Amino acid sequence: MDQNKDFLNVVLNNKRALAEIFLATILMSIGVNILISFIVKQVDTDRYIFFIGMAFILLALFFFFFPIVKNLRFRRSYDGFFIVETPTEELHSVYRYDYVSKINRWINEVRQTNPALEQLWQQHPVPKQFKASDVLIAEDAKDPQDSLALMQQVTEAYLLSKLSNHIHDYFHKNQGDANRVALIPKDGLPIPLQHNPFLNLALTQKRKIEEEVLGEDDEENLSQETLTIEPKVGLVVPRGATLKWRPNRQMEISNRRLRILAQVTLSGRPFFLPAGFQQNYLGIRDQDDIRVYAATVNFEINFSYLSIFSAGYWKFYYWLDACMRSFEKGFVGGTFFNTIGWDKTMTLIACQSQARQQAFKARQAGSYNQNHYSNHRPPNP
């Protein structure tokens, strides 16, 4: 499925095609039955006419409905990155990158208040090389064992808090209807999330967030606003939805019509920064002073099969596309580089560098000509 297409538009476009599908199916079934009747009369086997006709009808229905059913499931994968400083084994902050800025602040605050986690971070830093299996936290483990587990937990906390904040703001600010959301209290969260220190911090502290606020009728009507979220001990979800914990650290938000599965993966693979970013944006000259890792969030979004026959209440689900765009803006590395206009910035940097080099060469040439002329001037008469 094309990642640029909105989930809801695809589903609603399929719903609009239902009338055409039913009409085509009826006409085809009539035609098939007439044709089968003629064939059966020729071979004189009347007792098979019903079964042959039903087989053709079911086959036609399968070919018509299979593309629609297939388009009720979507998979999206988003890649972000985080940076570890080699000399100090600390996270390196990235200006205007929401994901790294928040997890860096949360990790520092939790380490300051929890000496055990501070000691764990110092004794077991993020290794230079690791596999995704090294990050997997046991389902019954209450305490993380190394810094990789902390990075897994803090990324999961970022994911859930980002979704919660967006759902809260979408229905309170855009829709003006607070009754369409529900609060899952801290003690109602799955056990692994209750033991996540970063999620607890994100849910209980007063914080300011800057994110994309999207109008429901015009997807191009964007505005940047700084919103103050009051302390709330719990996660905000759409009304009627539940939050469940699945195997392999999958988090599920679901109701009778929609199911969202989200999973954080730290694969250990490097994330390649664009040319000039390290030196000119991060201010780090030596390539060996940092290690850049990829962090991946996988979404699987499923609409129920019966939802395609539902007539109304689809306006409620416009929050889904807006929520995915908001998460992409704050997390995806490529989107961050586009937001700061790094391609254009790097072009300006390259042009200025070329101009300085040309000016330096011109000054050198002028100095050489001046010295050369002064050494070969004719004597004064």
Residue 137 pLDDT exceeds 70: no
Residue whose structure tokens are 């979220």: 229
Partners of 137 in the β-ladder:
none
CA atoms within 13 A on the CB side of 67: 10
Residue 328: CB atoms within 10 A of its CB come to 18
DSSP secondary structure letters along 340-359: TTHHHHHHHHHHHHHHHHHH
Average pLDDT over the chain, rounded to an integer: 78
HEC string for 139-186: CCCCCCCCHHHHHHHHHHHHHHHHHHHHHHHHHHHHCCCHHHEEEEEH
Lowest mean pLDDT among 221-225, 233-237, 242-246, 274-278: 221-225
Q: What is the pLDDT of residue 168?
A: 86
What are the residues whose beta carbons fall under 8 Å from the beta carbon of 246, sequence distance 6 or more?
Answer: 252, 261
Mean pLDDT of 347-371: 72
What are the residues whose beta carbons fall under 8 Å from the beta carbon of 375, sequence distance 6 or more?
Answer: none
DSSP secondary structure letters along 7-52: HHHHHHHHHHTHHHHHHHHHHHHHHHHHHHHHHHHHHT-GGGHHHH
CB 64 within 8 A of CB 20: no
Mean pLDDT of 212-216: 35
Per-residue confidence band for 172, with pLDDT thresholds at 50, 70 and 90? confident
Mean pLDDT of 338-359: 83
Element (H, E) at 366: helix 342-375
Handedness of CA 203, 98, 78, 249 (dihedral sign): negative
CB 244 within 8 A of CB 254: yes
Ranked by mean pLDDT, the top range of 23-27, 72-76, 130-134, 157-161 is 157-161
Q: What is the pLDDT of residue 208?
A: 41
Top-confidence residue, 170 or 311: 170
Per-residue confidence band for 368, with pLDDT thresholds at 50, 70 and 90? low
What are the residues whose beta carbons fall under 8 Å from the beta carbon of 159, sequence distance 6 or more?
Answer: 251, 262, 264, 297, 327, 331
Handedness of CA 342, 343, 344, 347 (dihedral sign): positive
Question: What b-and-e string marks burial along 306-324, b requiring 16 or more CB atoms within 10 Å of the CB?
Answer: ebbeeeeeeebbbbbbbbb
Residue 170 pLDDT exceeds 60: yes
Q: What are phi and psi of 238, to 5 degrees?
A: -60, 150
Mean pLDDT of 335-342: 93
Lowest mean pLDDT among 50-64, 247-261, 315-329, 349-363: 50-64
Residue 334 pLDDT exceeds 90: yes
CB 24 within 8 A of CB 64: yes
CA distance 170 to 177: 9
Q: What is the pLDDT of residue 215?
A: 35
Q: Three-class SS of residue 207?
A: strand
249 closest CA partner among 176, 151, 328 = 151
Residue 209 pLDDT exceeds 70: no
158 closest CA partner among 326, 325, 331 = 331
Q: What is the pLDDT of residue 251?
A: 95
Mean pLDDT of 319-338: 91
What are the residues whose beta carbons fall under 8 Å from the beta carbon of 371, sequence distance 6 or more?
Answer: none
Mean pLDDT of 355-380: 62
Top-confidence residue, 241 or 1: 241
CB 126 within 8 A of CB 268: no
Residue 350 pLDDT exceeds 90: no
Work out the burial of residue 61: count CB atoms within 10 Å of its CB; fewer than 13 is exposed, 13-18 middle, 19 or more buried: middle
Residue 127 pLDDT exceeds 80: yes
Mean pLDDT of 97-109: 94
In the chain, the amino acid numbered 285 is R
Residue 337 pLDDT exceeds 90: yes
Residue 3 pLDDT exceeds 90: no
Q: What is the pLDDT of residue 224?
A: 37
